[in-house]
Amino acid sequence: MNRKTVYFTAPRQAELREESLPALGADDVLVETICSAISAGTEILVYRGQFPHINDSHDHLSSRLKYPLAFGYACVGRIIETGKGVEKSLLNKIVFGFAPHTSAFIAHPSSLILAPASSAGTPALPVEACSFLPNMETAVNLIQDAAPILGERVLVLGQGVVGLLVASLLKEFPLEKLVTSDCFELRRKASLEIGVDDSFDPIVLSEKNFDVVGNKTQNKPQSGYAQNFDLTFELTGSPSALDDAIAMTAFSGRIVIGSWYGDKRAEVDLGGAFHRSRIKLISSQVSTIAPELSGRWDKARRFNVAWEALRRIQPQKWITHRFPIDKAEEAYRLLDENPHETIQVLLEYTK
């Protein structure tokens, strides 16, 4: 049996390769992919060749990146064959796999996550919603690392998929104020539809003046939301946005940094107000669980929370483009050249 797999061969070059599947092992299953979600953050850094060559024991993906490579981590499919040592009851089950964009893959059942089913045994979520699982797990991890407090003023910089999921989860908290920001109008509109209090364009931030609780005023200095927020999430993917986060976070506030910048660099002004601000910078990454939670939380528990959040939020509404796997190169070119037109881009597979 052959499969089609997307490979990155050089910066900004993606190609579809047909290759043979390895033999099915006795303890493995064969999954036929239905759809896979493209990450507009991490994956586009890899597509552009903007990933660092690092040795990180907590994140094997970024430690072994070199061209040519198949990359991706959001495949949803159906088990169509089982090895001799695998329960036949797994046949036809819908599963999620952290696999590259490929039409079929072989995996050990322990590396797959069964999609939740209803009491009648039918899927509890649309297949497309299941492809958001890794981004939702990331959003859950960000919220856990931030630990929002009753009545806080919270800012989310970046309203890509992860930012929208974080904002959606935060909307469930009893906050005083929830504000978001993104440079793309399409994503700000999606954010406002969640019900956030405001979503602004960072490019025109200095043109908007607000008081400490977000009320418009003409008597404030040209600093936008300066020093307003108890808690800020930096999810833009742009290291220069850290300066914005610092400028808008209040004394003794917290900034949770969820962006992976790859090899992108930018100067961050730590010589001004930051020095005396007691602002805490928190690095948050989904590969691990915060040490203070690890005694009670594991990956399985966090995934259960993520599945339930997907059921509530139904993020498939943010799919703006669908491409057949044969046109994967067009999908990456769209995300690279016209990201303002997109939120989530999905690859679809047909027999």
- The pLDDT assigned to 260 comes to 82
Q: What is the dihedral of CA 332, 338, 344, 350, to 10 degrees?
A: -40
pLDDT band at 155 (very low <50, low <70, confident <90, very high): very high
Fold classification of 134-283 is Rossmann fold (3.40.50)
- The pLDDT assigned to 206 comes to 46
Cβ(31)–Cβ(77) below 8 Å: yes
Q: 227 exposed, middle or buried (CB, 10 Å; 0-12, 13-18, 19+)?
A: middle
For residues 49-76, average pLDDT: 72
Cβ(111)–Cβ(303) below 8 Å: no
- Which class is 2-126+314-348 in CATH? alpha beta
Tokens in use for 275? 């020095």
Q: What letter would DSSP give residue 48? A: H
pLDDT band at 120 (very low <50, low <70, confident <90, very high): confident
Cis peptide before 134 (omega within 30 of 0): no
Instruction: Quickly list DSSP for 63-80.
Output: HS--SSB-----EEEEEE
203-228 per-position pLDDT tens digit: 875 444 444 444 444 333 334 677 79
| Three-state DSSP class for residue 36 | strand
The pLDDT of residue 314 is above 90:
yes
Question: Per-domain residue ranges for the chain?
Answer: 2-126+314-348, 134-283
pLDDT band at 51 (very low <50, low <70, confident <90, very high): confident
The pLDDT of residue 55 is above 60:
no
> At a CB cut-off of 8 Å and minimum separation 6, what does 188 contact?
159, 180, 181, 182, 199, 200, 201
Tokens in use for 248? 């808008």
